[in-house]
Amino acid sequence: MFVARSIAADHKDLIHDVSYDFHGRRMATCSSDQSVKVWDKSENGEWHCTASWKTHSGSVWRVTWAHPEFGQVLASCSFDRTAAVWEEIVGESNDKQRGLSHWIKRTTLVDSRTSVTDVKFAPKHMGLMLTTCSADGVVRIYEAPDVMNLSQWSLQHEISCKLSCSCISWNPSSSRAHPPMFAVGSDDSNVTYGGKVQIYEYNENTRKYGKAETLMTVTDAVHDIAFAPNLGRSFHVLAIATKDVRIFKLVPMRKESTSTGPTKFEVQIVAQFDNHNSQVWRVSWNITSTLLASSGDDGCVRLWKANYMDNWKCTGILKGDGSPLTGSSGQPSAMSTVLGSSVQSSQNALNGMSQKGQLE
């Protein structure tokens, strides 16, 4: 079922974030060693580091790619209270031969007074927009009006969320029925009050983002948050990484024609999994929103899938080194003893119980 490969990352300290580019052929990693590395995947599937450079004067928390329509652009955010935008420039021919590329800083966003905890690009249909959130609870939305000039960014919105923010996620839906929307998660550890996830929506009339919903049932610190790809549905699906994995469904309620405020939502909890039995740090959806992956302090990555009756179950568990966890629920049973004879298999392809790990 899985084949694992190890890549020696060569960062001198903890890695905090790994991000794929849109096509999955490039990868960026960032670390407490204050640097960002960019990796390219070659024809034979091997990853080569093509750039490595110091980006900040503090730990780099997150790194993210812009949509390739804007070129090869990265954004990073750091403990040093700044976020930066980087662009790859086509290098000299001998550099190319050696497989190296150069990234230059286009801008530094210095508006935050505290550590910037997340940086994300907005969906491409909104233009080239970058969002940051900080430990002091401020979310900032910047826009580059001229996509060919990445050194000019203007601060379009500054939203105070009152709670220390740890993560943001934009709703990827480009449907005209859905105004731009993002969710912010807070890692504030005081569990006496809820509302650690807030949803903000753009209001055409006020031309500002207003709070549309607060998920009061989320009382523990939120580490990651992710909207699922929309697929033309009328409702939204949001996954949250907190002390467990939670999936929420947000159903927009019909607006009266005279209403000028944000959309009202009916919030339903679709699933809640505490299998990690520890803090869950990341959640991420696959492209078609059919699979959710989560990782936690138990050192495992779990995969969650809904069957055709829309019941969510765990379909796979991976340990820290990429090997599957055997004897776990939700792992497909082998058809290997089908003819009543014992089967020697070193590669049970269709069933994939075994895995081969290759060290690079």
Partner 1 sequence: MGFAWGPGDILVYETLYKASGASGSGCSFIHEIRKDEDIYSPILRKLFNESHHIFVGLQTIREELPSKSKKPQFVSISKNYRSVIRACMEELHFGSFFKFLFYSLVSILLAIELIWNLCEVLFIDAAPAGSLLLHLLDWVRLHKADVDERAREVLQSESPAEHHDYWDVPGGTQTLTEFDVKWRHWHEEVDRCMQDNSFASNRHLEVICKILLGDEDTLLDHKELLGTWYHFLVTRLLFCHPTVKPTELHYYAQSCMTMFLDSRSVSEPLDNILLAAFEFDIHQVIKECSIALNNWWFVAHLTDLLDHCKLLQSHNLHFGSNLREFLLLEYASGLFTHHSLWQLAVDYFDHCPEFGRVYLELQIERVPLETERKALKVLRICEQRQMSEQVRSICKIMAMRALRNNRLGSALSWSIRAKDAAFATLISERFLQDYCAKGTFSDLDLIDNLGPAMLLSDRLTFLGKYREFHKLYGEKRFREAAKLLLSLMTAKIAPQSFWMTLLTDALPLLEQKEVIFTADQTYELMFCLEELTSSLNITASSTDRPMQEEDVEVTKVELLRLALARNLAQAIVKEGTVET
The footprint of partner 1 on residues 182-221 (CB under 8 A) is none
- Choices 114-122, 163-171, 184-192, 229-237; region in contact with partner 1 by CB under 8 A: 229-237
**Window 28-47: residues binding partner 1 (CB under 8 A):** 29, 31, 47
Provide the 3-class DSSP secondary structure of residue 239.
strand
Task: Choose the binding region for partner 1 from 106-114, 200-208, 251-259, 346-354 (rule: CB under 8 A).
Answer: 346-354
Q: Which residue has the tokens 């765990």?
A: 314
> Are the C-beta atoms of residues 270 and 237 closer than 8 Å to each other?
yes
Question: Which strand (E) or helix (H) includes residue 317?
Answer: strand 312-318
70 makes contact with partner 1 (CB under 8 A):
yes
Of the candidate residues 68, 99, 127, 145, the single one contacting partner 1 (CB under 8 A): 68
Of residues 29 and 159, the one with the C-beta less far from partner 1: 29
Phi, psi of 266 (to 5 degrees): -100, 120
Q: How far apart are CA 343 and CA 337, in angstroms?
A: 7
- When binding is defined by CB under 8 A, the residue of 9, 100, 126, 267 that contacts partner 1 is 9
Q: Is-contact 347 322, C-beta < 8 A?
A: no
d(CA 103, CA 37): 10
DSSP secondary structure string for all residues of 190-222: -TTS---EEEEEEETTTTEEEEEEEETT--SPP
Name the one range near partner 1 by CB under 8 A: 6-14, 184-192, 197-205, 213-221.
6-14
Please, which residue, 109 or 119, has the CB nearer to partner 1? 119
Q: Least distance from C-beta 274 to partner 1, angstroms?
A: 17
In single-letter form, the type of residue at position 221 comes to A
Between 24 and 256, name the residue whose CB sits nearer to partner 1: 24
Give the tokens for residue 129: 């927009």
Single-letter amino acid code for the residue at 69: E
Binding partner 1 (rule: CB under 8 A), the pick from 58, 71, 137, 210 is 71
Q: Under rule CB under 8 A, how many of the chain's residues touch partner 1?
A: 85
Q: Using the rule CB under 8 A, is 95 a contact of partner 1? A: no
Cβ-count burial 252-277 (b if 16+ within 10 Å, e if not): beeeeeeeeebbebebeeebebebbe
Return d(Cα 10, Cα 279) in angstroms, integer.
27
Q: Looking only at residues 139 through 178 of this chain, which bind partner 1 when binding is defined by CB under 8 A?
A: 148
Among 93, 177, 327, 338, binds partner 1 (CB under 8 A): 338
Distance of alpha carbon 290 from alpha carbon 287, whole angstroms: 8
Please tell me whether residue 256 binds partner 1 under the rule CB under 8 A: no
- Residues 264-323 binding partner 1 (CB under 8 A) are 278-279, 281-282, 284-288, 290, 293, 295-297, 299-301, 308-310, 318, 320-322
CB atoms within 10 A of CB 322: 14
Minimum gap (Å) between residue 102 Cβ and partner 1: 12
**Residue from 232, 253, 254, 329 that binds partner 1 (CB under 8 A)?**
232
**Residue 259 or 268 having the CB closest to partner 1:** 268
* Residue 21 C-beta: closest distance to partner 1, Å: 9
**Cα Dmax for the chain:** 72
